[in-house]
A and B are shown apart, each in its own frame.
Chain A
């Protein structure tokens, strides 16, 4: 085979492969979100209401979609749902579109507090979609008394050893340590970090596991008695077993916010704005609260919630003013390396 033949063959192979399809239709809006985070008919509803084609792709974690966006400069994506520290990073790297509020009329539905969030005051590059707290989720029937401090998790009572879990995602793992020691969840001082690291390494010996996804299932079966949990996820446990309850420890929580970001490189900005506007509609946004059991920062949506829902899931009733008392996780810049190292040390400790 001569070199010429080899070249032809290679071209043929590549052309053949490309004809397999897979490149997104140029006109469709590409939205990346977590599975089940929007109504199943949200895309169809949006297309019907505005005439824009759209496709939904999924991501599992913030970190994965961020890696993909950073490596490709956001190519191919129009709208992404990411948590607030990651929205900040997108903005700092110039990947997030600067928003024009005039093109999102439904922004008026947001609570005033939701328009003054620490990571993005005035919603310059992100629109909040859901928010909530991180606390302790526990089986009230298996514990003699309700926990009220992060130290109940970090230095558990004897009968709780081996029956607790903590979140595996590093910012929340560290947050528990920070809050237990009265520090900010965005603390960067070296001595403080060392203290928290030691406390968390000590706590590791008492844990059953670090678990981000099945911790509420463990509560339902009784394999765990008390877990660190996001309030929305705790509701899934409550739905299965009414003995499960959620509490924010006395030292406080962090305010987590999941946001919608339009990518600066999007070729479909008009459709992207229309989509964000569609999601912020009170009826559409309410779906999230009712079905995912997360609080949404949409005033008319929350007002229209069935009171029975709030009775069954008390953490749905936390007011925006109460939420703003908690600190948001922020991108900590240089200190991220120290955080990463500490988490590695904790995870590697025997």
Chain B
């Protein structure tokens, strides 16, 4: 009964994904095994050269660099996001949806508009510089725009609300009696947090981290606009293959390897989370 019920529940979504993701993407990714035609079409001769090219040091280096930048964004975003979600969950229940709404509201404007607003703030003659001068600072301002830090700032900013949303749900329904019980047994606030709250809400953080990492790695607009095009993330390279270089086979090969790596990381992450939560239940 339970098994059949679960199948009915999963079927519509899985069918949707099969028809509108697996089949179309499968067709495109299969191009990885063919060759780019002279004018950018596809020449249907079987080859593995595209897959081999993915492991070239240039692309491997870009991937590792992207992972580093994305990883930094993940850490910062998760700390800030979890803290914010914790604070929202600590507010009166009636206010919580309102606070969540205001947390995502900025992101219903437009990505480009927000990014240009950051550029107005951070550029050499921008608002922050003008504020500093008005406050009396005379010296040379450090470069705030077009640095790697700017890219990380942009990524953290863009995906922070997603972490907040992901961490909120586990935190919101945390049974307060558990925390009380922990206190009654003599644990300090910090210990309660570290050994009770955090493990129970770990799935939320894990999901948030996944969101930020996955979305950051594929992001190609932020490095282009806030990084001044000086930092190449793997998202830029894939985009360039499909659109600028007109090299769908190589783009497909890059995507295939990228998806495979990320899939492994994610499945590993799921294992880790299940074990982490499992320990708390024991």
Binding site for B on A (CB under 8 A): 1, 6, 10, 61, 63-64, 66-67, 70, 89, 92-93, 162, 165, 168, 170, 204, 207-211, 214, 218, 221-223, 331, 333-334, 336-337, 339-341, 343-345, 347-348
Contacts and interface: CB of A to CB of B under 8 A. Distances in A.
Nearest to B66: A348
B230 A89 contact: no
A272 to B, nearest CB: 23
A192 to B, nearest CB: 19
Given A93-B40, A333-B38, A210 B243 contact: no
A27 B244 CA distance: 32
Contacts of A333: 38-39
9 contacts: A89-B40, A93-B39, A93-B40, A93-B41, A207-B228, A208-B228, A222-B125, A337-B36, A337-B245
Interface residues of B, number: 38
A347 B230 contact: yes
A210 B247 contact: no
- Residue among A66, A204, A207, A340 having the largest count of chain B Cβ atoms under 10 Å: A340
Nearest to B236: A347
A37 to B, nearest CB: 19
Nearest to B12: A6
Interface string B228-249: 1111100011001111111100
Nearest to A165: B228
A339 B229 CA distance: 17
B250 interface: yes
Interface string B113-134: 0000001000111000000000
B215 interface: no
B125 A221 contact: yes
A207 B227 CA distance: 12
- Residue among A218, A339, A344 having the largest count of chain B Cβ atoms under 10 Å: A344
A5 to B, nearest CB: 10
A337 B247 contact: yes
Given A63-B243, A333-B39, A339-B245, A344 B58 contact: yes
